[in-house]
Amino acid sequence: MKSVFAVSAVSVGAQKSIHLQAPQLSFGEMVNSINGHHNELAAKYGATSSPVVIDNFQNAQYSGPITVGTDGETVSVVYDTGSSNLWVPNKDCCNRFSPHSFYHHEKSATYTENGTIFNIRYGSGPVAGFYSKDRIQIGDVEVNDYTFAEVNDVSGLGKGYSIGKFDGICGMAWDSISVDGVQTPVQALVASGKLPEPVFGFYIGDNKAGELTLGGVNSAYYTGDFTYVPLKDKSYWEIAMDSMKLNDAVIDANTKSAIVDSGTSLMAGPTDVVSAIAKQLGATSILGKEYIIGCDKEFSITYTIGGQDYKLTNSEVNIADVPLCIMGMMGIDIPAPRGPLWILGDVFMRKYYTKFDVGQERIGFALVNKAAVVV
């Protein structure tokens, strides 16, 4: 099973690429991750959630390097298309035995104090600190005098943060959901003038390395042409959805929106729909959030978006731990006006290379080249 990605930055022509490596999770670690994701999604998208500590969800999200400060202190961040702020930890967030990497503004000659309070909430509490301004570098794109959050309270992430693989979050969504209205990382990258195009592409490897490409897409990782879908809303990367099918029969004709979220491991949708799918397939719920299913159970899930069918087979939906699999979707109820909606996380993105087109306000999907190898 795949999990957190350690990364290194390289150049691909004029584009800027961040390579993502895929360590493994045990079955138990993946179950814990899914439970944590449920609470994280509830906080992110405004669903009702009991105040359960987010535990180990970090281990199933993709992280990669970003450098901050004059000398380029490197921290590992989740590149998250479901949020819009950059936050990194400082040394006051954790004890001295913490495995995390920290930003030390006192070591940076390009640091400028801001001091405005930063505070967001997850399922179990805050992630809080204050804003600072300094040089950052994403891939090999340098941005000077960028305003980001220095975090000294990560209690909202629970004990999972103390053993997690990432240090902070780099939000890749739109400015309308930026906390306190600060410039988003994507806005800063585009404004730098250093991207060939105002575009970025995600290749998420299936039990192998992946890549985030800035300023374009990498044709080595997909086949055929892109099918484009206009954005429904410039907040999250939200698009209109026609329907969803189980085994080619419509099972959800009521949910009309989907969000493509690189910070989410599974697919998530209305609880009643996910429960109905699980019942038809004979899947068994564990801990009330995820489902276990026999790996030999054959089925297909199809999302119809813009009149185009995006089909995933059981082997593409499920996370295998033979003879049982974790079904790669969970139920979550997002209230109106944002919901109901489907969240298409890395289970979906493993099959469909995704082009996030900032300039033309659209998303493009193309079939992943399964033979691709990240160099």
DSSP 308-341: EEEEEEHHHHSEEETTEEE-SEEE--PPTTT-S-
Q: Could you confirm whether 80 is annotated as catalytic?
A: yes
The predicted pLDDT at position 320 comes to 79
Please state, in angstroms and rounded to a whole number, the distance separating the CA atoms of residues 108 and 122: 30
Residue 170 near residue 138 (C-beta atoms within 8 A): yes
Q: What is the pTM of this model?
A: 0.87
Please state, in angstroms and rounded to a whole number, the distance separating the CA atoms of residues 256 and 232: 10
Classify 307 in phi/psi space as left (phi over 0), alpha (psi -120 to 50) or beta.
left
The predicted pLDDT at position 123 comes to 54
Listed residue (296, 327, 304) closest to 253, CA to CA? 304
Per-residue confidence of the chain (375 residues) as pLDDT tens digits?
A: 333 333 333 334 456 777 554 545 555 555 555 555 555 656 666 554 332 222 233 335 667 789 999 988 999 888 889 899 999 999 999 888 888 999 999 999 999 999 999 998 765 578 999 999 999 999 889 999 999 999 999 988 776 677 667 899 999 999 999 999 999 999 999 999 999 999 999 988 777 767 888 999 999 999 999 999 999 989 999 999 999 999 999 999 999 999 999 888 889 999 999 999 999 999 998 877 789 999 999 999 999 999 999 999 999 999 877 788 889 999 999 988 889 999 999 899 999 999 999 999 999 999 999 887 776
User: Is 282 among the domain residues?
Assistant: yes
Which of 173, 203, 233 finishes a domain? 203
Residue 341 near residue 334 (C-beta atoms within 8 A): yes
Residue 346 near residue 204 (C-beta atoms within 8 A): yes
Same domain, 49 and 179: yes
- Token pair of 188 as six digits: 């800063």
User: Is 1 among the domain residues?
Assistant: no
Catalytic residue among 134, 167, 261, 333: 261
Same domain, 178 and 264: no
User: Is 343 among the domain residues?
Assistant: yes
Q: Could you confirm whether 261 is annotated as catalytic?
A: yes
Same domain, 122 and 233: no
Cα 66 to the chain's mean position, in Å?
16
- Token pair of 296 as six digits: 């030999």
Same domain, 12 and 124: yes
Q: Give the CATH number for residue 76.
A: 2.40.70.10
Strand partners, 15: 12
User: Is 235 among the domain residues?
Assistant: yes
Q: How many CB atoms lie within 10 A of CB 336?
A: 7
Same domain, 157 and 255: no
Same domain, 120 and 247: no
Same domain, 252 and 140: no
Which of 203, 233, 255 finishes a domain? 203
The predicted pLDDT at position 5 comes to 31
Same domain, 143 and 228: no
User: Is 212 among the domain residues?
Assistant: no
Same domain, 190 and 227: no
- Token pair of 147 as six digits: 């305003």
Any idea what the Cα angle at residue 130 is, between residues 80 and 184, rounded to 5°?
A: 35
Which of 139, 173, 203 finishes a domain? 203
User: Is 374 among the domain residues?
Assistant: no
Catalytic residue among 55, 80, 134, 357: 80
Please state, in angstroms and rounded to a whole number, the distance separating the CA atoms of residues 308 and 15: 29
**Exposure pattern of 179-217 as b/e (b: 16+ CB <10 Å)?**
eeebbbbbbbbbeeebbebbbbbbbbbeeebbbbbbbbb
Q: Residues with Cβ < 8 Å from 320, sequence gap 6 or more?
A: 1, 295
**Count of domains for the chain:** 2
Listed residue (58, 65, 362, 361) closest to 212, CA to CA? 65
User: Is 373 among the domain residues?
Assistant: no
DSSP one-letter code for 59: G
Q: Residues with Cβ < 8 Å from 179, sequence gap 6 or more?
A: 84, 85, 118, 120, 149
User: Is 214 among the domain residues?
Assistant: no
Query: Residue 283: which domain range?
Result: 220-368
**Exposure pattern of 84-102 as b/e (b: 16+ CB <10 Å)?**
bbbbbbbeebbeeebebbb
Same domain, 70 and 196: yes
Q: How many CB atoms lie within 10 A of CB 353?
A: 27
SS (H, E, C) 5-55: CEEEEEEECCEEEEEEECCECCHHHHHHHHHHHHHHHHHHHCCCCCCCCCC
The predicted pLDDT at position 49 comes to 37
- Token pair of 307 as six digits: 């009149």
Same domain, 45 and 168: yes
